[in-house]
Amino acid sequence: MKTSLLRTAQAIGLNSSNASKLEAARAKLLPPIPLYRHLLRTHRLLPFEMRSLGDDYVKAEFKRHKLSDNPVHIMGFLLEWNHYLDQLRLQFAESSSEKFRGKRMDDTLIDKVWESNFCRCPSERESADVQRTTRSTL
């Protein structure tokens, strides 16, 4: 993600009708490298299993988007990862007295993931059906 592309993304964002919202969001956006470092440092506070999964995912996503040249994708990428970092810090602040447990996924998000992966594997689909029915009865 080149600096000139980030400037282009900023210029495009200012032309929209939500310029003040984008300006406020951009003001608190971390640049890619500091954001990457903050994410990995914050993951140090996670339990080992969550940390290893999270670190691998962050590294893979940043590597995958390293050469992105679409300013809209760059801004969306940075916004979402900054949002994730903010949510993670908030969860750590709330659960400082107890062990970190994460956050329960919203049912609408689960349904979206469910629909997009519906045809992947029949055995996984059947086990997920059982889990969803037991969860809904609780």
pLDDT digits (tens, 9 = 90+) for 71-91: 899 999 999 999 999 989 888
pLDDT band at 2 (very low <50, low <70, confident <90, very high): low
Number of structural domains the chain divides into: 2
Spatial separation of the C-alpha atoms in residues 13 and 21, rounded to whole Å: 10
Instruction: Identify the pLDDT of residue 82.
Output: 94
Please report which residue ranges of 15-106 form alpha helices under DSSP H.
19-27, 32-43, 48-64, 71-94
- Let me know whether 87 and 112 are in one domain: no
- Let me know whether 56 and 115 are in one domain: no
- Let me know whether 41 and 10 are in one domain: yes
Which one is predicted more confidently, 101 or 4? Answer: 101
Statement: residue 54 has pLDDT above 90 = yes
Q: In which domain, by residue range, is 121 found?
A: 107-137
- Let me know whether 126 and 89 are in one domain: no
Lowest mean pLDDT among 14-18, 21-25, 86-90, 104-108: 14-18
- Let me know whether 82 and 133 are in one domain: no
